[in-house]
Amino acid sequence: MQIDIQGLQHFLSDKELSRMTALTEAVTKDLEKGKGAGAEFTGWLDLPTEYDKKEFERIIKAGRRIKRNSDAVVVIGIGGSYLGAKAAYEFLAHPFQNQLGKAKSKAPELYFAGINLSADYHQGLLDVLESKDWSIIMISKSGTTTEPAIAFRILKEKLEAQYGKTKAAKRIFAITDAKKGALRKLSEQEGYETFVVPDDVGGRFSVLTAVGLLPLAAVGIDIKSLMKGAANAMQDMKAPFGKNIAMQYAALRNILYNKGKSTEIMVSFEPRMTYLMEWWKQLFGESEGKENKGIFPASAIFTADLHSLGQYIQEGRRNIFETALVLEKVKSNLKVPRAEKDLDGLGYLEGKSLHYINDKAIEGVRNAHVDGEVPNIRLVIPKADALNLGYLFYFFEKACAISGYLLGVNPFDQPGVEAYKRNMFELLEKPGY
Ligand code: PA5
Neighbours of 32 (CB within 10 A): 17
Write down the pLDDT at residue 156: 98
Q: How far is the CA of 382 from the centre of ligand 1 (A)?
A: 31
CB-hemisphere CA count at 13 Å for 156?
22
The rounded distance, in Å, linking the Cα atoms of 353 and 369 is 25
Closest atom, ligand 1, to C-alpha of 78: 10
Identify each DSSP E strand in 191-309 by its residue range: 193-196, 263-268, 296-301
Average the pLDDT over 241-249 and give the result: 98
Query: Per the domain annotation, does 422 fall within a domain?
Result: no
379 phi/psi in degrees, rounded to 5: -110, 115
What is the CATH number for 160? 3.40.50.10490
Residues 6 or more apart whose Cβ sits within 8 Å of residue 177? 141, 142, 143, 183, 184, 196, 197, 199
Active-site residue, 307 included? yes
Helices (DSSP H) in 372-417: which residue ranges? 386-407
Measured N-to-C along each axis, helices 14-33 and 245-258 cross at an angle, to the nearest 10 degrees, of: 120
Average the pLDDT over 30-35 and give the result: 97
Write down the pLDDT at residue 329: 96
Which of 170, 189, 221 is the last residue in one of the domains? 221
Specify whether 404 is located in the same domain as 274: yes
Catalytic annotation, pick one of 15, 53, 54, 307: 307
Inform me whether the pLDDT recorded for 419 exceeds 90. Answer: no
Specify whether 232 is located in the same domain as 217: no
Active-site residue, 286 included? yes
One-letter amino acid at 407 equals: L
Pair type for strands 2-4 and 376-383: antiparallel
Specify whether 168 is located in the same domain as 133: yes
Neighbours of 394 (CB within 10 A): 28
Q: How far is the CA of 240 from the centre of ligand 1 (A)?
A: 33
Which pLDDT tens digit goes with each residue over 349-369? 999 999 999 999 999 999 999
Cis before residue 303, ω within 30 degrees of 0? Answer: yes
Instruction: Indicate the SS3 state at residue 381.
Output: strand
Inform me whether the pLDDT recorded for 418 exceeds 90. Answer: no
Among 86, 138, 145, 424, which is best to mutate for testing ligand 1, by the most ligand atoms less than 8 A from CB? Answer: 145
Specify whether 245 is located in the same domain as 211: no
Catalytic annotation, pick one of 35, 421, 426, 430: 421
Q: Buried b vs exposed e over 398-423: b needs ≥16 C-beta within 10 Å?
A: bbbbbbbbbbebbbbebeeeeeeeee
Which pLDDT tens digit goes with each residue over 259-318? 999 999 999 999 999 999 999 999 999 999 999 999 999 999 999 999 999 999 999 999
Query: Per the domain annotation, does 426 fall within a domain?
Result: no
Specify whether 234 is located in the same domain as 124: no
The β-bridge partners of 300 are 267
Instruction: Indicate the SS3 state at residue 264.
Output: strand
Which pLDDT tens digit goes with each residue over 2-25? 999 999 988 999 999 999 999 999
What is the domain count for the chain? 2
Specify whether 311 is located in the same domain as 253: yes
Inform me whether the pLDDT recorded for 196 exceeds 90. Answer: yes
The rounded distance, in Å, linking the Cα atoms of 349 and 246 is 38
**Mean of the per-residue pLDDT values of the chain:** 97
Ligand 1, atom 12, lies closest to the CA of 140
Inform me whether the pLDDT recorded for 234 exceeds 90. Answer: yes
Q: Name all residues whose Cβ lies below 6 A of ligand 1.
A: 78-81, 140-142, 145, 148, 202-204, 286, 414
Q: How far is the CA of 206 from the centre of ligand 1 (A)?
A: 10
Ligand 1, atom 15, lies closest to the CA of 140
Write down the pLDDT at residue 421: 86
Question: For residue 60, how far is the Cα from the chain centroid?
Answer: 21
Q: How far is the CA of 251 from the centre of ligand 1 (A)?
A: 27
Closest atom, ligand 1, to C-alpha of 417: 9
Closest atom, ligand 1, to C-alpha of 414: 3
Beta carbons of 147 and 139 less than 8 angstroms apart: no
Inform me whether the pLDDT recorded for 61 exceeds 90. Answer: yes
Ligand 1, atom 2, lies closest to the CA of 203
Specify whether 22 is located in the same domain as 50: no
Active-site residue, 421 included? yes
**Distance set, CA 260 to CA 9, 78, 79, 116, 367 (Å):** 17, 32, 29, 34, 21
The rounded distance, in Å, linking the Cα atoms of 159 and 172 is 9
Query: Per the domain annotation, does 415 fall within a domain?
Result: no
One-letter amino acid at 43 equals: G
Query: Per the domain annotation, does 361 fall within a domain?
Result: yes
Domain range for residue 185? 44-221
| DSSP, res 43 | G
Write down the pLDDT at residue 375: 98
pTM of the shown model: 0.97
Query: Per the domain annotation, does 417 fall within a domain?
Result: no
Q: How far is the CA of 210 from the centre of ligand 1 (A)?
A: 14
